[in-house]
């Protein structure tokens, strides 16, 4: 995640000008560690840091950098993760999904369409005062303070 973002940013460096946006999509585990997702947590925490560094490095040029941190998104990947957890624990996939939904204060998963909406929001000209920010799209899963 971090290496790819840095390589891509370097590749387009000469094209970045006032009004340009750098938008990375990470995950909520960078903010809310769990026992079963250490690698994802470390990678996402590093991505948060890099986005903030990029916001400082490019801010004088009028370029903003952001991170979108969705919680579990209702995708095929989520179903595979749930199936793996179910197999390890000897329970059904539906039981795992129900447990995951219970972690959400609004009882649902983030959708890919909601992530796309967040990207569009950050690309809007009105978002030019936001930089180095992390937009949580975790359906109320994060328990800690910023």
- Count of domains forming the chain: 2
Let me know: does 55 contact 132? Beta carbons within 8 Å: yes
What is the structure's pLDDT at 34?
79
104 and 121 share a domain? no
The whole domain housing 92 covers 75-108
Cα atoms in the Cβ-side hemisphere of radius 13 Å centred on 87: 6
Residue-by-residue pLDDT tens, the chain, 146 positions:
899 999 999 999 999 999 999 999 998 888 887 777 788 889 999 999 999 999 999 999 999 999 999 988 999 999 999 999 999 999 999 999 999 999 999 999 999 999 999 999 999 999 999 999 999 998 888 776 66
CA distance 51 to 58: 10
What is the structure's pLDDT at 99?
95
What is the structure's pLDDT at 145?
65
Predicted model pTM:
0.87
DSSP character at residue 91:
S
CATH number reported for the structural domain that contains residue 2 in this entry: 3.40.50.720
Let me know if residue 136 belongs to a domain: yes
120 and 57 share a domain? yes
């Amino acid at each position: 995640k971090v290496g790819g973002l840095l390589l891509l940013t370097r590749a387009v460096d000469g094209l970045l000008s006032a009004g340009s946006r750098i938008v990375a999509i990470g995950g909520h585990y960078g903010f809310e560690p769990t026992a079963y997702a250490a690698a994802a947590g470390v990678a996402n925490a590093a991505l948060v840091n890099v986005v903030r560094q990029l916001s400082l490095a490019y801010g004088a040029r009028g370029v903003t950098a952001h991170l979108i941190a969705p919680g579990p998104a209702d995708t095929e990947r989520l179903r595979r993760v749930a199936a793996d957890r179910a197999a390890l624990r000897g329970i059904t996939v539906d039981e795992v999904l129900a447990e995951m939904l219970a972690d959400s204060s609004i009882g649902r998963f983030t959708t890919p369409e909601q992530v796309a909406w967040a990207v569009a929001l950050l690309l809007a000209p009105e978002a030019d005062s936001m930089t180095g920010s992390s937009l949580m799209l975790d359906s109320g899963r994060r328990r800690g303070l910023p």
